[in-house]
Protein backbone atom coordinates (compact mmCIF):
# COMPACT_ATOMS: atom_id res chain seq x y z
CA UNK A 1 0.00 0.00 0.00
CA UNK A 2 1.57 3.22 -1.15
CA UNK A 3 1.27 6.51 0.70
CA UNK A 4 -0.82 9.14 -0.98
CA UNK A 5 0.65 12.58 -0.16
CA UNK A 6 -2.68 14.28 -0.65
CA UNK A 7 -4.27 12.48 2.25
CA UNK A 8 -1.29 12.56 4.61
CA UNK A 9 -1.53 15.05 7.41
CA UNK A 10 1.56 16.53 9.02
CA UNK A 11 1.84 17.00 12.71
CA UNK A 12 1.59 20.75 13.27
CA UNK A 13 2.45 20.94 16.96
CA UNK A 14 5.68 22.78 17.74
CA UNK A 15 8.34 20.88 19.61
CA UNK A 16 8.76 22.36 23.10
CA UNK A 17 12.43 23.46 22.91
CA UNK A 18 11.71 25.28 19.62
CA UNK A 19 8.73 26.95 21.22
CA UNK A 20 10.72 28.11 24.23
CA UNK A 21 13.51 29.58 22.14
CA UNK A 22 11.01 31.27 19.86
CA UNK A 23 9.26 32.76 22.88
CA UNK A 24 12.61 34.02 24.18
CA UNK A 25 13.19 35.63 20.79
CA UNK A 26 9.84 37.36 20.80
CA UNK A 27 10.33 38.56 24.37
CA UNK A 28 13.80 39.83 23.53
CA UNK A 29 12.35 41.99 20.79
CA UNK A 30 9.10 42.94 22.44
CA UNK A 31 10.17 43.83 25.98
CA UNK A 32 12.25 46.89 25.06
CA UNK A 33 9.41 48.18 22.91
CA UNK A 34 6.88 47.53 25.64
CA UNK A 35 9.21 49.27 28.10
CA UNK A 36 9.30 52.29 25.82
CA UNK A 37 5.54 52.40 25.57
CA UNK A 38 5.03 51.96 29.30
CA UNK A 39 7.49 54.70 30.20
CA UNK A 40 6.10 57.17 27.69
CA UNK A 41 4.98 60.30 29.51
CA UNK A 42 1.58 60.32 27.84
CA UNK A 43 0.35 63.40 29.64
CA UNK A 44 3.36 65.47 28.68
CA UNK A 45 3.46 64.13 25.14
CA UNK A 46 1.81 67.04 23.30
CA UNK A 47 4.03 69.55 25.09
CA UNK A 48 7.17 67.51 24.48
CA UNK A 49 6.45 66.89 20.83
CA UNK A 50 5.69 70.52 20.05
CA UNK A 51 8.78 71.90 21.79
CA UNK A 52 11.23 73.77 19.55
CA UNK A 53 13.85 71.03 19.84
CA UNK A 54 11.35 68.34 18.84
CA UNK A 55 9.80 70.22 15.94
CA UNK A 56 13.20 71.24 14.64
CA UNK A 57 14.45 67.69 14.82
CA UNK A 58 11.32 66.31 13.20
CA UNK A 59 11.38 68.85 10.39
CA UNK A 60 15.07 68.28 9.79
CA UNK A 61 14.70 64.52 9.86
CA UNK A 62 11.91 64.60 7.32
CA UNK A 63 13.77 66.92 4.98
CA UNK A 64 17.05 65.03 5.17
CA UNK A 65 15.62 61.53 5.02
CA UNK A 66 13.47 62.34 2.00
CA UNK A 67 16.34 64.13 0.26
CA UNK A 68 18.66 61.26 1.01
CA UNK A 69 16.11 58.82 -0.40
CA UNK A 70 15.71 60.86 -3.57
CA UNK A 71 19.49 60.92 -3.94
CA UNK A 72 19.67 57.19 -3.33
CA UNK A 73 17.04 56.55 -6.01
CA UNK A 74 18.61 58.90 -8.58
CA UNK A 75 22.02 57.32 -8.21
CA UNK A 76 21.02 53.87 -7.03
CA UNK A 77 18.65 52.84 -9.81
CA UNK A 78 21.19 53.38 -12.60
CA UNK A 79 23.77 51.64 -10.46
CA UNK A 80 21.43 48.71 -9.96
CA UNK A 81 20.80 48.62 -13.69
CA UNK A 82 24.53 48.50 -14.43
CA UNK A 83 25.03 45.72 -11.91
CA UNK A 84 22.13 43.69 -13.25
CA UNK A 85 22.41 44.23 -16.96
CA UNK A 86 25.60 45.83 -18.16
CA UNK A 87 28.68 43.83 -18.86
CA UNK A 88 31.23 46.02 -17.14
CA UNK A 89 34.38 44.44 -15.70
CA UNK A 90 34.68 44.33 -11.93
CA UNK A 91 30.98 43.93 -11.25
CA UNK A 92 31.64 41.70 -8.27
CA UNK A 93 33.85 44.37 -6.81
CA UNK A 94 31.28 47.09 -7.37
CA UNK A 95 28.60 44.94 -5.81
CA UNK A 96 30.78 44.35 -2.74
CA UNK A 97 31.36 48.07 -2.52
CA UNK A 98 27.65 48.75 -2.64
CA UNK A 99 26.99 46.19 0.10
CA UNK A 100 29.73 47.62 2.31
CA UNK A 101 27.68 50.34 4.06
CA UNK A 102 25.27 47.59 5.08
CA UNK A 103 27.83 45.77 7.16
CA UNK A 104 30.04 48.69 8.12
CA UNK A 105 29.36 50.12 11.61
CA UNK A 106 27.74 53.50 10.94
CA UNK A 107 30.33 55.34 12.99
CA UNK A 108 33.04 53.85 10.83
CA UNK A 109 31.06 55.05 7.85
CA UNK A 110 31.03 58.51 9.39
CA UNK A 111 34.77 58.44 9.90
CA UNK A 112 35.27 57.35 6.31
CA UNK A 113 33.04 60.16 5.11
CA UNK A 114 35.10 62.62 7.14
CA UNK A 115 38.27 61.35 5.59
CA UNK A 116 36.77 61.72 2.16
CA UNK A 117 34.64 64.82 2.43
CA UNK A 118 35.91 66.60 5.53
CA UNK A 119 37.68 69.89 5.25
CA UNK A 120 40.99 68.10 4.77
CA UNK A 121 39.42 65.14 3.09
CA UNK A 122 40.36 63.50 -0.17
CA UNK A 123 37.64 65.27 -2.10
CA UNK A 124 36.51 67.62 0.62
CA UNK A 125 39.65 69.70 0.56
CA UNK A 126 39.00 70.75 -3.02
CA UNK A 127 35.39 71.46 -2.27
CA UNK A 128 36.52 73.71 0.56
CA UNK A 129 39.53 75.38 -1.02
CA UNK A 130 37.97 76.02 -4.40
CA UNK A 131 34.28 76.53 -3.62
CA UNK A 132 34.18 77.22 0.08
CA UNK A 133 31.83 74.27 0.49
CA UNK A 134 32.04 72.45 3.78
CA UNK A 135 29.94 69.34 4.10
CA UNK A 136 30.57 68.51 7.77
CA UNK A 137 28.31 70.51 10.07
CA UNK A 138 25.90 71.22 7.25
CA UNK A 139 22.50 69.80 6.42
CA UNK A 140 23.95 68.64 3.12
CA UNK A 141 26.38 66.60 5.17
CA UNK A 142 23.50 64.93 6.95
CA UNK A 143 21.87 64.09 3.64
CA UNK A 144 25.14 62.65 2.39
CA UNK A 145 25.62 60.51 5.50
CA UNK A 146 22.05 59.24 5.34
CA UNK A 147 22.30 58.51 1.61
CA UNK A 148 25.52 56.61 2.23
CA UNK A 149 23.84 54.14 4.57
CA UNK A 150 20.50 54.02 2.77
CA UNK A 151 21.56 53.54 -0.83
CA UNK A 152 22.62 49.88 -0.50
CA UNK A 153 19.07 48.93 0.45
CA UNK A 154 17.75 50.46 -2.70
CA UNK A 155 20.44 49.13 -5.00
CA UNK A 156 20.16 45.58 -3.73
CA UNK A 157 16.37 45.48 -3.94
CA UNK A 158 16.28 46.97 -7.42
CA UNK A 159 19.16 44.86 -8.70
CA UNK A 160 17.42 41.74 -7.50
CA UNK A 161 14.24 42.72 -9.29
CA UNK A 162 16.04 43.59 -12.51
CA UNK A 163 17.85 40.29 -12.49
CA UNK A 164 14.69 38.29 -12.07
CA UNK A 165 12.76 40.37 -14.57
CA UNK A 166 12.57 38.89 -18.05
CA UNK A 167 14.87 40.90 -20.30
CA UNK A 168 12.96 39.65 -23.30
CA UNK A 169 10.20 42.17 -22.67
CA UNK A 170 12.78 44.79 -23.43
CA UNK A 171 13.70 42.97 -26.62
CA UNK A 172 10.05 42.88 -27.63
CA UNK A 173 9.81 46.60 -27.00
CA UNK A 174 12.89 47.19 -29.14
CA UNK A 175 11.42 45.30 -32.06
CA UNK A 176 8.38 47.54 -31.73
CA UNK A 177 10.57 50.57 -32.24
CA UNK A 178 11.13 51.77 -28.68
CA UNK A 179 14.42 53.48 -28.01
CA UNK A 180 16.37 52.76 -24.84
CA UNK A 181 14.98 55.60 -22.82
CA UNK A 182 11.40 54.67 -23.76
CA UNK A 183 12.05 51.06 -22.84
CA UNK A 184 13.41 52.09 -19.47
CA UNK A 185 10.53 54.41 -18.80
CA UNK A 186 7.62 52.30 -20.04
CA UNK A 187 8.82 48.72 -19.66
CA UNK A 188 11.76 48.15 -17.31
CA UNK A 189 10.85 50.47 -14.47
CA UNK A 190 7.12 49.72 -14.38
CA UNK A 191 7.90 46.00 -14.34
CA UNK A 192 10.05 46.37 -11.28
CA UNK A 193 7.69 48.93 -9.75
CA UNK A 194 6.83 47.03 -6.59
CA UNK A 195 10.45 46.24 -5.83
CA UNK A 196 11.45 49.82 -6.53
CA UNK A 197 8.82 51.03 -4.12
CA UNK A 198 9.87 48.58 -1.45
CA UNK A 199 13.51 49.53 -1.87
CA UNK A 200 12.67 53.20 -1.64
CA UNK A 201 10.69 52.76 1.54
CA UNK A 202 13.43 50.67 3.13
CA UNK A 203 16.02 53.25 2.15
CA UNK A 204 13.90 56.02 3.63
CA UNK A 205 13.48 54.13 6.89
CA UNK A 206 17.20 53.56 7.15
CA UNK A 207 17.96 57.19 6.39
CA UNK A 208 15.50 58.32 9.03
CA UNK A 209 17.08 56.19 11.71
CA UNK A 210 20.70 56.94 10.91
CA UNK A 211 22.76 58.06 13.90
CA UNK A 212 26.42 57.04 13.94
CA UNK A 213 27.47 58.36 10.56
CA UNK A 214 25.46 61.54 11.01
CA UNK A 215 26.86 62.50 14.39
CA UNK A 216 30.40 61.66 13.36
CA UNK A 217 30.37 63.31 9.97
CA UNK A 218 27.73 66.01 10.08
CA UNK A 219 27.86 66.94 13.74
CA UNK A 220 25.09 67.86 16.14
CA UNK A 221 23.44 71.27 15.83
CA UNK A 222 19.72 71.78 16.39
CA UNK A 223 18.00 72.94 13.24
CA UNK A 224 20.97 72.17 11.02
CA UNK A 225 22.23 68.69 11.73
CA UNK A 226 20.36 67.46 14.79
CA UNK A 227 18.04 64.87 13.35
CA UNK A 228 15.56 62.95 15.50
CA UNK A 229 17.98 60.19 16.54
CA UNK A 230 20.58 62.78 17.53
CA UNK A 231 17.97 64.74 19.44
CA UNK A 232 17.07 61.58 21.35
CA UNK A 233 20.71 61.04 22.22
CA UNK A 234 21.15 64.63 23.39
CA UNK A 235 17.97 64.55 25.42
CA UNK A 236 18.88 61.33 27.19
CA UNK A 237 20.96 63.05 29.86
CA UNK A 238 18.90 66.16 30.28
CA UNK A 239 15.24 65.44 29.76
CA UNK A 240 14.66 61.70 29.80
CA UNK A 241 10.99 62.11 29.07
CA UNK A 242 11.71 64.21 25.99
CA UNK A 243 14.02 61.47 24.79
CA UNK A 244 11.30 58.89 25.26
CA UNK A 245 8.75 61.04 23.46
CA UNK A 246 11.06 61.49 20.48
CA UNK A 247 11.86 57.79 20.51
CA UNK A 248 8.16 57.12 20.26
CA UNK A 249 7.98 59.19 17.10
CA UNK A 250 10.75 57.11 15.55
CA UNK A 251 9.07 53.91 16.67
CA UNK A 252 5.82 54.97 15.04
CA UNK A 253 7.67 55.83 11.83
CA UNK A 254 9.26 52.38 11.80
CA UNK A 255 5.90 50.71 12.36
CA UNK A 256 4.43 52.73 9.52
CA UNK A 257 7.21 51.50 7.25
CA UNK A 258 6.56 47.91 8.19
CA UNK A 259 2.86 48.28 7.51
CA UNK A 260 3.54 49.92 4.16
CA UNK A 261 5.89 47.20 3.09
CA UNK A 262 3.93 44.31 4.49
CA UNK A 263 5.19 40.76 4.54
CA UNK A 264 5.62 40.02 0.89
CA UNK A 265 8.15 42.73 0.24
CA UNK A 266 10.25 41.90 3.25
CA UNK A 267 10.38 38.29 2.22
CA UNK A 268 12.37 39.34 -0.80
CA UNK A 269 11.61 39.73 -4.49
CA UNK A 270 8.83 41.58 -6.19
CA UNK A 271 5.30 40.25 -6.37
Q: Where along the sequence are the contacts to other proteins (CB under 8 A)? A: 15-18, 20-21, 24, 114, 118-120, 134, 136-137, 166, 168-169, 171-179, 182, 186-187, 190-191, 193, 215, 218-222, 224-226, 233-234, 236-238, 240
Which residue's CB is nearer to other proteins, number 46 or number 193? 193
145 vs 64: CA distance, rounded Å: 10
25 vs 73: CA distance, rounded Å: 34
Which residue's CB is nearer to other proteins, number 121 or number 152? 121
Which residue's CB is nearer to other proteins, number 26 or number 172? 172
Q: How far is the CB of 241 from other proteins (least distance, A)?
A: 13
* C-alpha dist (Å) from residue 146 to 63, 94, 150, 211, 251: 11, 20, 6, 9, 18
Among 257, 207, 203, 256, CA closest to 62: 207
Q: How far is the CB of 120 from other proteins (least distance, A)?
A: 5
Q: How far is the CB of 234 from other proteins (least distance, A)?
A: 6
Which residue's CB is nearer to other proteins, number 46 or number 167? 167
168 vs 166: CA distance, rounded Å: 5
243 vs 225: CA distance, rounded Å: 17
3 state SS of 157: helix
Which residue's CB is nearer to other proteins, number 205 or number 243? 243
Q: How far is the CB of 119 from other proteins (least distance, A)?
A: 5
Which residue's CB is nearer to other proteins, number 29 or number 176? 176
Q: How far is the CB of 148 from other proteins (least distance, A)?
A: 17
Which residue's CB is nearer to other proteins, number 99 or number 180? 180
Q: How far is the CB of 235 from other proteins (least distance, A)?
A: 9
* List of residues 6+ apart from 118 with CB closer than 8 A: 124, 135, 136, 217
Q: Which long-range contacts (CB under 8 A, 24 or more apart) does 241-245 make?
A: 241/41, 241/44, 241/48, 242/48, 242/51, 242/53, 242/54, 244/36, 244/39, 244/40, 244/41, 245/40, 245/41, 245/44, 245/45, 245/48, 245/49, 245/54
Q: How far is the CB of 48 from other proteins (least distance, A)?
A: 17
Q: How far is the CB of 115 from other proteins (least distance, A)?
A: 8
Instruction: Return the DSSP state at 13.
Output: P
Which residue's CB is nearer to other proteins, number 95 or number 119? 119
Cβ–Cβ < 8 Å for 100, 148? no
Amino acid sequence: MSLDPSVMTTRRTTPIPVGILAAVGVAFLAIPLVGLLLRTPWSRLPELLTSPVATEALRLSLITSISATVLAVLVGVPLAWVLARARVPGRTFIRALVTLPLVLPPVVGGVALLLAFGRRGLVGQYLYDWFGIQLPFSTAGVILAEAFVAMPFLVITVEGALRSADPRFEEAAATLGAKRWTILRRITLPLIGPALLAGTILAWARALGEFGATITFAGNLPGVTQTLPLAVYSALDTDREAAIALSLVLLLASLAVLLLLRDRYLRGGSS
